[in-house]
Amino acid sequence: MNITTFTLEQSAGQRLMVGFDGTELNTELKFLIKTLKVGGIILFSRNLIDPGQIKNLCLSLQSYARSCDQPPLLIAIDQEGGQVARLKEPFTQFPGNPKMKGFEDAVFFAKTTAKELSEVGINMNLAPVLDVAPEGINSVMADRAFGSDPNWVSEQGKVVIEHLQAEKIMAVAKHFPGIGRTVLDSHFELPDLDIDVDAMKGFDLFPFKTAISHDVAGIMLSHIRYTRIDPDWPASLSKIIADDLLRKEMGYGGVVMTDDLDMGAIEKHYDLNTAIHQILSADVDMALICHAGPNIEHAFREIADVQRQSQTMRALGMKSLKRIMKLKLRYLKS
């Protein structure tokens, strides 16, 4: 599709990846796709019954998007293995990143997961976790990270990215610039981390640098406030982190997305309009809203209004739209 012909509403909707309730194409999903023109759908356990149902759901989502003259949808899921795996049996169950003994485990995980996701129509995995969990602290990521050695995390993550994407499953590295040093859970609180970029370079940032060099499809921002880097905003809302650090300093030109804006770290501290303004100003491509409800439509209206009122925001929005559509063209060509 030619993005120069996109309406303002299409441009706004493509910036959203959203959750929903239900297990089949329903009125809610039709509204999200046809009216809000969302760019992506994220699946959770509440949406999943068995492989046949999931495949029918994904096919019907894409078919309905086509019938509405919309671009193909990103259909995403958190399938890390271990404690964060939305797909249950009969899908292959993995013990999780900390239990991986070598590259063979990472290859098997990625190839198997890519095959199983492809078979049911899911095209994006919000993995790998590239957080490095230091020893000696009660890291919030201890049960999800590959480990405490940034070189090991980097190499394992690289293998997962390469083998997912070789099978046309988009990989999303998370949670930039790294949350392994934190002990509070951003699902509930807004953690602060008192550390500067130089201290993070050889540790937290190193796996993301490797992921960028291996053309990772997407990078998810954390909801952590890195007070020595940006004392005012968590990474997901921070121009200093998303634009200055990730895009300009580290050279990432792919799709950048927030973590779920419904999480306590954001919802308890920032109103949605403020969050959307920060996301757009920071050159973040997609806002993730995982729960059904008015926040999705509210975010859509706000993105459209901001871009309507500001030439600068329209220009940034066009850059984001180009990145999103480039990714879709690469992975979702029919």
Model pLDDT for residues 97-109, shown as the tens digit of each residue? 999 999 999 999 9
Choose the catalytic residue: 50, 187, 196, 232.
Answer: 187
pLDDT for 333 equals 75
Choose the catalytic residue: 78, 131, 259, 283.
Answer: 259
Q: How far is C-alpha 39 from the geometric centre of its chain's CA atoms?
A: 12
The token duo for 301 is 């209206």
Average pLDDT over residues 218-232: 96
Strands (E), 118-206: 124-125, 170-176, 192-193
Average pLDDT over residues 140-161: 97
> Does residue 4 or residue 191 have the better pLDDT?
191
Is this structure's pTM higher than 0.75?
yes
pLDDT for 145 equals 97
- What's the rounded Cα separation, in Å, for the pair 32 and 155? 38
- What's the rounded Cα separation, in Å, for the pair 28 and 33? 9
pLDDT for 184 equals 79
Q: Is 175 a catalytic residue?
A: no
The model's confidence at residue 334, banded by pLDDT at 50, 70 and 90, is low
The token duo for 74 is 């990103």
Q: What is the mean pLDDT of the chain?
A: 95
CA angle 261, 96, 235 (to 5 degrees): 25
- What's the rounded Cα separation, in Å, for the pair 114 and 136? 34
CA-based max dimension of the chain: 54
Q: Which amino acid is at 260?
A: D
Q: Is 187 a catalytic residue?
A: yes
DSSP reduced 3-state for 21: coil
Range 17-331: architecture per CATH: Alpha-Beta Barrel (3.20)
pLDDT for 185 equals 74
Average pLDDT over residues 37-56: 98
Model pLDDT for residues 155-191, shown as the tens digit of each residue? 999 999 999 999 999 999 999 999 999 987 778 888 8
Q: Are 272 and 294 in contact (CB under 8 A)?
A: no
pLDDT for 188 equals 80
Q: Are 235 and 241 in contact (CB under 8 A)?
A: yes
Nearest CA among 98, 45, 46, 42 for reference residue 289: 42
Count of beta carbons in the 10 Å neighbourhood of residue 99: 12
> Domain locations in the chain?
17-331
Q: Is 168 exposed, middle or buried (0-12, 13-18, 19+ CB in 10 A)?
A: middle
The percent of the chain in helix, strand and coil, each rounded to the nearest 5, is 45, 15, 40
Does the structure show a pLDDT above 60 at 192? yes
Alpha-carbon torsion (14, 19, 20, 26), positive or negative: positive
